[in-house]
Structures are given as structure tokens and as C-alpha cells.
A = this chain, B = another copy of it.
């Protein structure tokens, strides 16, 4: 396993002067006491909104508002004039002060032995040389201390298990996902929050969200190691516009991807995108071909847009990887079978996998079960006469055919003989059988409840043929990587 103390020659622009020691993952994900430095009584102020969110979301630990001018209580919670005056230990400090006084505040964090200081404030390297200078000073302050910095210039974190969010989302405008098993690291705050909002529509959950911001200290290469340790995380997805330290990231990814899948959406893969990334986060891009090559080498699955990123993270969190590329399709709508076959088989507009060639014995068994006008050939078409029980029987047969590596099954609710218990059938067959992804097309009146129920049972379900097949391809890519490294467990 690659060592974090490895002194790489390839430092990123913000690499720390010394390597900080990584704390146990619990300290980050389950802080027992949080201080809001800059907590405010005035509504609308950042220090007020964050405190209010923390309280109203039901954060499970202790909350300490800190404000030198505040006496008594803020929002009914006893306030302290300084971190030092808090009688108990503080795990996490959320700092919302102006950039000019951040140095002193972080110095206080070090004295108080705060483990993580989340610096929400902007006004650092993103505004120019002066800000960059401030960042260097911040790093000097935490050097050789037990205090780590997240940010600055970050929306912070969202840890659903702890019910802790430092994000300033307007609750009447956006939503947070429930607790799940996908850890999400984003260099961009807005994109991160928008993506969280998007996946919450159908109840896809996450184990953690961290916005890196200017990432002067805590960075993606360390975070993926935290999440590797976290038993609540099954897959790790990242939105990055650059690497904090390319070599270290790839080392960490190689180590972590042995046990947990990693998906990266790397912004700035074209010249135009790289220019945009530079304007957005000051990121200097790495050659896209190099990135792709290294991702393949270290087992990172690459996503190309925000939908793929979370779709892949979900499939990889909920399902086993594929041991091969031979796919069976089950549908009650023949047209979906056709579109899906094309998309599976096509290299140009598709994923370039194979339609499984079912054995004669499998086909005969299926023929005996489904209606005469149905097709026992792959794609298996149960037709509009197909029943929930047909799904169960056919999936069972496919799960027993060695010529099948993975299954795309369409859960369609527009026909009379399919009912809501189909979700039970899918769960049952998924648990015992081969990797499976589910597509739900149309069925507007069932779709939302079907997709939400699928989430609860950790069934990867998608409202489009292409999204379902792409997710299966992610499971295939992961399987092939593990196979190359001799890590794919036999069923």
C-alpha cells in the first residue's frame, strides 16, 4: 500500500509544506462537538444561517457558537467569546469570519486542538496574489499541529449520519439526499450541491459530501483514504478540475480501488474545458489522454458528466462488478429491447459489450414459461402479457446460465399483469444472482415510487435505457480492472 509520507516530486500548486497526519475517519465523519466561529444573531448572516441549519437539521453532537461580541445565547444556545473559552474539546470548527482575521482564528483552533477547521470564507488564492499569501500563512499556522483545514472558499461538508451540514443552501430552494453509501468529493461547491439536489429527487443517498474549495490542506488524495476506511461508504465519486497532487492521488486511488470503487468526473478534459476550469478554480489541467491512461491503470472509472458520475457511483455502491461483458435483457416492451441491444453492442453510440448468447436449455426453460408471442431469445420479451411471476422465473433462469455476466431488466408498470411486488422480485433475484441494473421508462405514476423504493433496497435503477446500460458498463469496467489485478472474487 502506497505510503502517504512518500515524498513525491510532483507537488500540486497548493501542496502543504509538510504532510499532515491523517486522523481516524470517525473524527471527520462523526464529530462530537462543532464550533461555529463567527456565529451571528442577525438573520441572513452566514454565521446565523449555518448555526440555524445545524440546529434545525438535528445535528447529533454539541454545538458551540463562538463570537467575541456575543454574550449569553445565540438561537437559544450558549455562546462563547472564543474557542479557548469553551470548556470541552471541539472536533470541528466552522469558520465564517472575514479572510483578514482567519489566521488568528485558525491559530486558536490549533491551540484548542480542533481536529478540522472548515474555512468557509473566500478571499484567498481565488482573488489573487494577496490571497495566495494568506493561504501560505494559514499552512504555516497548522504546520506540525493536529489541526487540518478544509477549504478555504468552500461550502464545507454534509455528513448525513451526523446530521451535519455547513452548506448555505436555501432550504426552500434545494434538497439534500438522505443517508446512503456513496461518498462525494467535489472541488466545486455549487456543482456539488446541485448534484446532491438532483439525486435527492429519487432518494439516492450519500455517506458524505466534502467540498474541497481551495484545498490548501485536506485534499482528494487523503479524503479517498478516509472513505476507504469508513464502513459506511461503498463507493467514492469525485468531481475534480485538477489534482491537488497528481502522483499522490493516483497512489491513493490505486490503493483504495482495491477495496472500493472510485469514479471521477474530470473537468477540463478539452482545451476549452481546461480554459474554463482555469477561470473557475484556477486549475491547471492535465492532458486528457494521460488522465485516462492513469485512471485505467489505477482502477478509476471515468464519468463524463454529472449524471454519469452519480449513476456510476450508485451502481458500484449497490452491485457486484461484472465478471464478463455478456449481457441479458429482460423487458415487457420489445422496442426497449431493441434500443438496449443496440446500445449494448455499439462501440460508437453505445458501450461496446455483448448480448449474451443463451444456451438452448435456457431458451427452452424460458419458452415454457412466457406467453407464446413472447421471445425467449435475448432480449427476452415478456410482452404486455408478461407478469410479475414471469419476471421472477426468467431472472432465476438467467441467473443460472453461465453464458450471462450481467442483466438489464426493465421494470415497466404500464401493463396489467405487472404489479408493485416486482420490486420484491428484483431484490430477491439481485441478492442471489448476477449483477443487475434496472430501467424504468414511462410509468410516470409509478416511476417515482419505484425509483425511491429501489434506492431503499440498494437496487440501481434508472429512468432511461442509456443510463441503465452505462451504469452496467461501469460495473464491467470495475470488474475488468479487478480481474486484471487478480482481485475479482469468484461467485
Contacts and interface: CB of A to CB of B under 8 A. Distances in A.
A269 interface: yes
Contacts of A174: 414, 442-445
A92 interface: no
A384 B190 contact: yes
A191 B142 CA distance: 60
Contacts of A241: 335, 338
Interface stretch (A8-16, A20-28, A344-352, A397-405): A344-352
Nearest to A273: B342
A175 interface: yes
Contact of A337 (B170, B280, B336): B280
A446 B267 contact: no
A198 B187 CA distance: 33
Contact of A173 (B200, B276, B414): B414
Interface stretch (A158-166, A371-379, A481-489): A371-379
Interface in A388-421: 412-416
Contacts of A267: 335, 338-339, 342
B442 A272 contact: no
A461 interface: no
Interface residues of A, number: 83
A173 B446 contact: yes
B442 A195 contact: yes
Contacts of A191: 333-336, 339
Interface stretch (A67-75, A100-108, A219-227, A302-310): A302-310
A472 B122 CA distance: 35
Contacts of A304: 342-343, 349-350, 466
A306 to B, nearest CB: 6
7 contacts: A174-B414, A192-B335, A200-B444, A241-B338, A271-B345, A276-B334, A276-B379
The 9 closest A-B pairs by CB, nearest first: A191-B335, A194-B442, A273-B342, A197-B442, A280-B334, A188-B335, A190-B333, A267-B338, A272-B345
Interface of A: 122, 126-127, 169-170, 172-175, 186-188, 190-198, 200-201, 239, 241, 265, 267-273, 275-277, 279-281, 304-307, 332-339, 341-346, 349-350, 354-355, 373, 375, 377, 379, 381, 384, 412-416, 441-447, 463-466
Given A191-B333, A270-B342, 19 more contacts: A126-B373, A173-B443, A190-B415, A193-B414, A194-B442, A195-B441, A198-B441, A241-B335, A267-B338, A269-B346, A269-B349, A272-B342, A272-B355, A273-B339, A275-B341, A276-B334, A279-B379, A280-B335, A281-B334
